Structure 1
Amino acid sequence: MASLKSLENPSFKTVLGYGAGDFGFNLAFSLAATFLLYYYTDVAGIPAAAVGTMFLIVRLWDGFADLIAGRAVDRTMTRWGKFRPYIMFGALPLMTLSVITFYVPPGLEPDTKLLYAYITYAALGFVYSLVNIAYGSLASAVTQSVNGRAKLVASRAFGAAIGGIILTYVVGTLINRLKAQKAAVETAEQLLAYQADVQTMFTQVTLAFVVIGTAAFWFTAWACREQVVRLQPSISIRETFDTLKVNKPLAYLCGSSLFYMTGLFAVSGATAFYAAYVLDNIALVGLIVLVNSGISLLITPFIPAIIRKLGKKTVYQYCGMFTVVGGVGLFFAPADMLWLVLLTLAIKGVGASLINTVMFGLEADTVEYGEWKTGKRSEGSTYAIFAFSRKLCQSIGGALGAWALAAGGYLAATAADPNPVQPASAIIAIKVVMGLIPAGAAVIAMLVFIRYPLTDDKFRQIRDETEARKAVALEAEAKTEPIVPV
């Protein structure tokens, strides 16, 4: 049977601490996902098509960085555990790199600006991988209780939603305060002054997030302790691949999440443009995210109960319907009917909340499945494969958003035309990215996930069988230990 500690529901401190981790990640991750495309095009002056290609390349690199991080985590064992050292010591570098990424020196030549953006964004992604793989793997080591893991992933979603609301509401509001200044821009000098003021705002915000985010990560490392018994502190590369190649639940989960998250990440980069050019008010970014994330805050406390009633597989299988209905509705919603826009966004938000929450619980369960099949436990590499699929989604989704803007004829501000009027094709492209792309991707994701084999009852069975084998192995090892003469 599973160890008693691993089957206990985690304490309130542990649940709160785990949620604080994703709060910290969203101060870096959601800031980049929501505002980096806007920052690169409208502040740094990098063409949208070049940014789209950069997103594709750098986020593909991030995916391979996840695999490197997964191997590093699986080979680590310290007096603080396998995962907590990466969270403790990686927090400050991660948050500092966010400051550097959002500071492209204005005096650089265009090609040098693009190179700087490549290097800093790639460095941010690599450090993010090291910390995030450890954090994501930690859930499967804290508890093996189905209900306990549901609480952890719900807390994670809650922390992410709070972080997303805070940063987008703050940044969106600050950008809107500069809107009058941008509207008055008529010369190259005035454009440079406006861009300098926006740059100052991003620098001040990211510096504040260094303090807040680092404190959140340190709280996570203090509050969350590893409870699951392991027979081997680390495993070889061959043993890792032996585990992963037989892990069918992980394969189906990664396949479905690839489509789900491609749609969601495409939306992230287009949100600021939707507010600015479709709704004609950049400050509405805060309200848009508040609706999406606010729905998450309302639903998240009920997710453990929903999972107990329906099971993770069923919830994940059909939650994409919210994305389909909300996405199609958003595409057709008239911009002057703000209530309808917000309603469709809320429906989409229900789907996004369930998808983003339940998939992490499913990933933790696939760790047990891999151990059951092979006898080897590889949290880091299992989560790395899952994270690799998410980074691939970031790459594709982020590039789709930028390329759609370019295909629609989006006009970035330039010295010659500081306030360009966007063509109708650019407005349609933004609405396609916000609504139709995530809806279509959700349909494909649900079809892929149909063959996922691991229900909650099946998980409990394999968990108990695995822990029983561990108990026998540990008992046999204890009996064979030599007696040391006194």
Structure 2
Amino acid sequence: MSATTAVPAAIPRKLGPLQFVGYAAGDAANNLAFSMTSFFLLIYYTDVVGISAAAAGTLFLVIRLWDGFADIFAGRTVDRTMTRWGKFRPFFLFAGPPVLLLSVATFTLPGQVSGSGAKLLVAYLTYGLLGLAYSLVNIPYGSLAAAMTQQPGERAKLASFRMIGTALTTIMLAFVVSPQIQQYKGDPDGFQRSLMITTAIFAVAGIALYLFLFATARESVQRDVEQVSARQSFATLKGNKPLIMLCLASLAFLTALFSLQTVQVYYARDVLGNANLLTALTVLSVGAIFVVAPLVPRLVRAIGKKTAFLSFGGIGLLAGVGIAVSPPSTPWVSMTFFGIMGVSTAGLNTLMWALEADTVEYGEWKTGVRTEGITYALFSFTRKLGQAVGGAVAAYAIALGGYAGGAAVQDETALNAIRYASGLIPVVFILIGMLIFFRYPLTEQTFTTMVAETQARRLAQQ
């Protein structure tokens, strides 16, 4: 355990444009693997590999729970790491490429083996390894924001740029993959070849993005303890009420989001009758980030993070009901509500990252030790749990509705199950998240006081 001796600067240095763009590039690289699985892995398993929707739902639940524990492992790995490149940046060099290569394997190897049992086993292995590798790059990436700046406005900007990186990647995925789904409907072999080539190209692009993040990121926030012990890591979590409440609320919100993401492709192809409409739905829902993300720092200054968070949740309730009841004969109505849901999820996701960084300060204020890694790992654990529950609930819902993988036409019960999984399941979980977050205690005034007291304590010790 070693301590730094630098005196904190009186006026924290602001981040430059390249650092914001580089941070956005990092999440763009992450989502070449993460969003690819969130949007398209279920349809790959059901329509190409031949795994039933129910079996795929169980797979999602098991592997994404595994991913959550992998996050805790990654958080501890980060907390005890310190190199000449910093605590977080080395992971982008050494864990980034394996993530992207395992994404290729996840969308290739299960379709190359024969026998239903063998296919399922390979699916578990490839997706499980992808989750472990992703944790080793995503936990350092998410933790990096708290180490780059302590200014709330700068952190809100980092969160906004992160969401812009996510949005650009997700929209690109829709434009690239959706036509493949329509073109190769009923041709699993053709779809398999196309996905293998697509994910290989994404791997090359993603490695370049990780290198750009490594080159532009800087860890500037002082830490008194560089290599954190396991006892110190978990001590900062104990009593961190803002982090626990944020995790619980985020679990509910993300269950809603991933339920919708998992079946959105089915909604376009089967409910609306055209897989190419997935591109329009994605542009409307994800494209809202470009409007909302730049406004979030202003909202934070005007009404605070908590009020803004709850407001975006209320917008999501309206959108979920609209998606569930929109008549398939008028696609523009559904598209409108997908756009409204995009406003909700863009605001919620952007604020989550800024709120998580604030809980790091709370933990240091309470214990004197900065533990970005384990703090972000616990937060990410709940995100993975939300992904697990949301994906599994959506898959089980369409399975109960009688969805038949590979069928040209689905019956009315299956179509209704897809609509309800897209709209009503999100409504239930968004409402739960709002009720939890209503009692979130960390206000802007409290945050400012905490940072000032931590700074004064550090100066007194020196």
Shared fold by TM > 0.5?
A: yes
Residue 380 (structure 2) aligns with? 387
Instruction: Give the whole-Å Cα distance in 2 for the aligned partners of 1:6 and 1:261.
Output: 36
For 2:356, the equivalent position in structure 1 comes to 363
1:314 partner letter? T
The answer (yes or no) to whether the contact 1:8–1:145 under 8 Å persists in 2 is: no
Change (3 A) 1:6 1:169: farther
Deviation of residue 5 (structure 1)?
8.1
State how many pairs are aligned: 456
Task: Return the match for 1:130 from 124, 136, 160.
Answer: 136
Between 396-405 and 304-313, the greater mean CA deviation after superposition? 304-313
Q: Structure 1: how far apart are the matches of 2:320 and 2:207?
A: 35
Distance 1:380 1:159 in 2: 22
Q: Distance in 1 between matches of 2:193 and 2:290?
A: 31
For the residues of structure 2 that align with 1:109 and 1:308, how far apart are their CA atoms? 57
8 Å CA contact 1:318–1:446 kept in 2: the answer is no
- Report the CA distance between 1:465 and its aligned residue: 0.8
Q: CA deviation at 1:108?
A: 1.6
Q: 1:169 is matched with which residue? A: 175
Q: 1-side partners of 2:119 and 2:356: how far apart?
A: 38
Q: Quote the offset at 1:105 in angstroms.
A: 3.6
Distance in structure 2 (CA, Å) of the matches to 1:363 and 1:394: 18
Counterpart in 2 of 1:17? 22
- Greater alpha carbon shift after TM alignment, 112-121 vs 436-445: 436-445
Cα drift, residue 412 of structure 1: 1.2
Asked if structure 2 preserves the Cα contact closer than 8 Å seen for 1:6 and 1:145, the reply is no
1:428 aligns with 2:434: no
Aligned AA (2:156): A
1:464 aligns with 2:458: no
**How far, CA to CA, are the matches of 2:250 and 2:10 in structure 1?**
31
Match of 2:205 in 1: 212
| Distance change >3 Å, CA 295–CA 2, structure 1 → 2 | farther
Report the CA distance between 1:420 and its aligned residue.
Answer: 4.6
Q: Does residue 1:223 correspond to 2:229, yes or no?
A: no
The letter of the residue matching 1:46 is: I
Which AA in structure 2 matches 1:437? Answer: I
Offset, 1:342: 1.0
Instruction: Report the equivalent of 2:59.
Output: 54
Show CA shifts across 1:134-153 (max 9, x none).
00000000000010001100
- For residues 328-358 of structure 1, the C-alpha deviation after alignment (integer angstroms, 9 at most, x for no partner) is 0111111121221111111111000001110
Question: Does the CA-based 8 Å contact 1:3-1:229 persist in structure 2?
Answer: yes
Distance 1:366 1:391 in 2: 19
Q: Distance in 2 between matches of 1:36 and 1:396?
A: 15
| Alignment equivalent of 2:289, drawn from 288, 296, 309 | 296
Aligned to 1:96: 101
Q: Is the 8 A contact 2:27 2:165 kept in 1?
A: yes
Q: 2:76 matched to 1:71?
A: yes
Counterpart of 1:82 in 2: which secondary structure?
coil
Larger radius of gyration: 1
Quote the residue 1:398 is aligned against. Answer: 391
What CA distance in whole angstroms lies between the structure 1 residues aligned with 2:389 and 2:316? 18
Q: Deviation digits for residues 396-448 of structure 1, max 9, x if unmatched?
A: 111011101110011112xxxxx353121111110111111111111110100
1:201 to 194, 199, 205: 194
Q: 1:409 aligns with which of 378, 402, 412?
A: 402
Hey, what's the Cα distance between the residues in 2 that align with 1:146 and 1:126?
Answer: 31
Give 1:7's aligned residue.
Answer: 12
Maintained 8 Å contact 2:111/2:192: no
User: Which one-letter code corresponds to 1:142 in the other structure?
Assistant: M
Verify the 8 A CA contact 1:169 1:290 in the aligned structure 2: no
Secondary structure of the structure 2 residue equivalent to 1:412: coil
Match of 1:266 in 2: 259
Q: CA deviation at 1:8?
A: 2.9
Instruction: Please say if 1:310 is aligned against 2:303.
Output: yes
Gapped regions of structure 2 (runs ≥ 5)? 1-5
Q: What amino acid sits opposite 2:345 in the alignment? A: A
Between the aligned partners of 1:439 and 1:354, the Cα distance in structure 2 is 16
Q: 1:426 to 1:5 in 2, by over 3 A?
A: farther
- For the 8 Å contact 2:67–2:135, the answer to whether it is kept is yes
In 2, Cα distance between equivalents of 1:243 and 1:277: 48
Partner residue of 1:446?
Answer: 434
- Measured against aligned partners, the alpha-carbon deviations of 1:8-60 in whole angstroms (never above 9, x if no partner) come to 33111111111111111111110100000000000111111111101000000
1:146 aligns with 2:152: yes
TM-score of the two chains, using structure 1 as the length reference: 0.92
Partner of 1:248: 241
- Give the Cα–Cα distance (whole angstroms) in 2 for the partners of residues 7 and 357 of structure 1: 23
Q: Which amino acid aligns with 1:410?
A: Y
Whole-angstrom distance in 1 between the partners of 2:296 and 2:438: 21
Q: Give 1:317 deviation, angstroms.
A: 2.2
The answer to whether the 8 A contact 2:270-2:409 is kept is no
1:309-337, Cα deviation, whole Å (9 max, x unpaired): 11112111221111100010111111121
Letter in 1 for 2:256: G
Q: Which amino acid aligns with 1:141?
A: A
Whole-angstrom CA distance in 2 between matches of 1:17 and 1:404: 39
1:234 aligns with 2:227: yes
Write the distance in 2 (CA, Å) between the matches of 1:382 and 1:342. Answer: 37
Could you say which residue in structure 2 is the equivalent of 1:189? none
CA drift of 1:4 comes to 3.0
* Correspondent of 1:119 among 111, 125, 128: 125
In the alignment, the residues of structure 1 paired with residue 11 and residue 414 of structure 2 have an alpha-carbon distance, to the nearest angstrom, of 53
Distance across 2 between alignment mates of 1:105 and 1:133? 30
Q: Alpha-carbon deviation of 1:2?
A: 9.1
**How much does 1:449 deviate?**
0.5
Counterpart code for 2:171:
I
For residues 300 and 236 of structure 1, what CA distance do their matches in structure 2 show?
A: 36
User: Closer, same or farther in 2 for the Cα pair 1:2/1:371, shift >3 Å?
Assistant: farther
Whole-angstrom CA distance in 1 between matches of 2:69 and 2:253: 20
Gaps of 5+ in 1: 183-193, 414-418, 476-486
1:360-392: per-residue Cα shift (whole Å, max 9, x none)?
Answer: 100000000000001111000000000000111
Deviation, 1:252, is 0.5
- Per the alignment, do residues 300 and 459 of structure 1 end up closer, same or farther by CA in structure 2, a change over 3 Å counting? same
Question: Is 2:353 the partner of 1:347?
Answer: no
Contact 2:319 2:338 in 1 (8 A): yes
Aligned to 2:3: none
Q: Distance in 1 between matches of 2:100 and 2:238?
A: 35
